[in-house]
Amino acid sequence: MQKYMHKNIRQALPAEYDEIYKMGFDVWGQEQELEIYLEGCRQSPKYKQGTWYVLADECGFLYSSLIKYSFADGSCGIGSIATPLALRKAGHASELIKKSLDLFEKEGIKKTFLFSDIGAAFYEKFGFLQLPLQFQQYKDSICMIRGVKIAEIEQNSAFIPPQYF
């Protein structure tokens, strides 16, 4: 009988970064060799600016990961949400996102952004809303926000979405 492993969110350890990077290799590897892809991730200025979080059990097994970027206005952005291929479609990314958002709210973060490459529906269940078209910056990614009403954004002529990707 297999014991149920309780999963929690925590900051990733530097020794886990390669395992985290591998979670997205099939999607973001762009037909590179694994070692070249990993070296690119290790040297990525974008990845060095963020804080990696993982959903892990008490034995240290990693189920899913994401990166958080903190912004000067007290908001944050999340991205690079990934789960190992063999563990996908089991709810691990959803659990990580929910627990991350709960943690960030406890830290006082009221607004969270993300760029979705998979459409909006998945993230809407966590309270994310698509920014209006005039605030969309990328052809293949939908900029979304949580914690602010879209009407507030539309009325704020100074609003500029983050450009962390």
Please state the rounded mean pLDDT for residues 44-63: 95
Residue ranges of the alpha helices (H) in the chain?
A: 17-23, 25-28, 34-43, 45-49, 92-106, 121-124, 150-155
2 belongs to a structural domain: no
Tell how strand 142-146 and strand 112-116 pair up: antiparallel
**Domain CATH code at residue 57:** 3.40.630.30
Please state the rounded mean pLDDT for residues 119-134: 95
164 belongs to a structural domain: no
> Contact 73/93 with Cβ under 8 angstroms?
no
162 belongs to a structural domain: no
161 belongs to a structural domain: no
β-bridge mates for residue 67, sequence order: 52, 79
Please state the rounded mean pLDDT for residues 42-62: 95
pLDDT 10s digits, 143-157:
999 999 999 998 888
Please state the rounded mean pLDDT for residues 118-130: 95
160 belongs to a structural domain: no
53 belongs to a structural domain: yes
The CB-side HSE value for 123 (13 A sphere, CA atoms) comes to 24
How far apart CA 83 and CA 96 sit, in angstroms, is 10
Range of lowest pLDDT (43-47, 69-73, 111-115, 135-139): 135-139
pLDDT 10s digits, 85-113:
999 999 999 999 999 999 999 999 999 99
69 belongs to a structural domain: yes
From the list 109, 91, 89, the residue with the least C-alpha distance to 100 is: 109
From the list 127, 99, 130, the residue with the least C-alpha distance to 115 is: 130
Phi, psi at residue 164, to the nearest 5°? -85, 5
154: alpha, beta or left? (left if phi > 0; alpha if psi -120 to 50): alpha
148 belongs to a structural domain: yes
Domain range for 87: 7-155
**Residue 4 pLDDT > 90:** no
**Residue 31 pLDDT > 70:** yes
Provide the whole-model pTM.
0.91
Higher pLDDT, 156 or 130: 130
**Residue 1 pLDDT > 50:** no
**Residue 3 pLDDT > 70:** no
The domain tally of the chain equals: 1
